[in-house]
């Protein structure tokens, strides 16, 4: 079961009425506390400065900007990931920028090398677009760990289940779970 499936199962089974009185009290405190902090900070100096930086620097890098920076051998990233896993990280998130995002040509060699070196159960790939997560499912199977926008979860899950997809995927995705 993928981490996303485990989380979904937990969320589906959780209910407010199933919480103890002490847990409900703590939930109220933390939710109200977090909301209060977030709302209170909206007009604060740090948020204003962040907004200015976002305006100045923009969002994702353009492909030409990334090309100017050059590339680093993927083995360096694999070595860093191994260090983090050895230190106790249970999963490594692989950012899509420079691999499938903000590039002229996808670097499909990078996720392949990372998956071969670390194993799929230890990594999660960012997949910002449907054609990207379709590529990951097609090449690494339906249980590959993917980080997608919340608005794309249904799209991804029906693709994983093999009940939707492009001509290269529709009806071809299978799992052999009990």
CA distances for 164 relative to 147, 154, 155, angstroms: 19, 10, 8
pLDDT of residue 132: 92
Burial class (CB in 10 A: 0-12, 13-18, 19+), 71: exposed
pLDDT-based confidence at 64, cuts 50/70/90? low
In a domain, 52, yes or no: yes
In a domain, 140, yes or no: no
Region 11-18: what's the mean pLDDT?
A: 80
In a domain, 46, yes or no: yes
Residue 124 backbone class (left: φ over 0; alpha: ψ -120 to 50; beta: rest): beta
Residue 177 backbone class (left: φ over 0; alpha: ψ -120 to 50; beta: rest): beta
pLDDT of residue 60: 61
pLDDT tens digits along 116-144: 999 999 999 999 888 898 899 989 988 99
pLDDT of residue 82: 95
Region 100-118: what's the mean pLDDT?
A: 91
Does an H or E element contain 47, and which? helix 45-57
In a domain, 36, yes or no: yes
In a domain, 42, yes or no: yes
In a domain, 72, yes or no: no
In a domain, 35, yes or no: yes
49: containing domain: 19-59
Is residue 163 classed as helix, strand or coil in its secondary structure?
coil
In a domain, 99, yes or no: no
Per the confidence metrics, is the pTM higher than 0.85?
A: no
How far is C-alpha 91 from the geometric centre of its chain's CA atoms? Answer: 11
Q: How far apart are CA 29 and CA 37, in angstroms?
A: 12
Q: Give the total number of structural domains in the chain.
A: 1
> Is it the case that residue 163 has pLDDT exceeding 60?
yes
């Amino acid at each position: 079961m993928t981490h996303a499936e485990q989380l979904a199962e937990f969320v589906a089974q959780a209910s407010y009425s199933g919480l103890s009185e002490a847990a409900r009290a703590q939930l109220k405190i933390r939710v109200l506390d977090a909301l209060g902090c977030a709302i209170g900070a909206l007009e604060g100096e740090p948020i204003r400065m962040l907004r200015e930086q976002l305006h100045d620097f923009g969002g994702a890098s353009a492909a030409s900007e990334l090309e100017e920076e050059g590339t680093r051998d993927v083995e360096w990233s694999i070595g860093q990931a191994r260090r983090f896993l050895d230190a106790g990280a249970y999963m490594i998130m692989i950012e899509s920028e420079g691999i499938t995002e903000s590039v002229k040509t996808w670097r499909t060699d990078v996720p392949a090398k990372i998956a071969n070196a670390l194993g799929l159960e230890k990594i999660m790939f960012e997949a910002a677009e449907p054609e990207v997560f379709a590529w990951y499912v097609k090449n690494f199977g339906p249980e590959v760990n993917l980080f997608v926008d919340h608005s794309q979860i249904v799209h991804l899950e029906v693709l994983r289940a093999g009940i939707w997809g492009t001509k290269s995927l529709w009806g071809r995705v299978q799992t052999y779970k009990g």
